[in-house]
Amino acid sequence: MMIPIHSIKIINPQFGELINEKFVNDVQFKLFLKMIQGCLELKNDLTFFNGVDFLIHVPYNILVSSIIFTNVTSSDITSEIVKSKIEALVTK
């Protein structure tokens, strides 16, 4: 059985790769994309904490000068799938 794997990369010319995450859950991926789009449109810093072990903070001026790539690939369910730290099962 093939499942879609969503990925996002944010690359900054000065700092290099800021974010490189893969999502198994398409809803989590869409929410993360909407958060990034909202930060760009409202000129806010990108700040996210999953409540356990993943924290990012990217100032607006760094985010707006970055390149953002998204991609969807398929993977066989029998292969090893590692969930993103953003897709935490437990949040506080």
Instruction: Please enumerate in sequence order all residues whose Cβ is within 8 A of that of 4, keeping only pairs 6 or more positions apart, or say none.
Output: 26, 72, 73, 74, 75
Indicate if the alpha-carbon torsion angle 54, 50, 71, 63 is positive or negative: negative
pTM above 0.75, yes or no: yes
Q: Greater confidence, 17 or 50?
A: 17
**Residue bearing the bigger pLDDT, 55 or 83:** 55
Taking only the tens place, the pLDDT of each residue in 29-73 is: 999 999 999 999 999 999 999 888 889 999 999 999 999 999 998
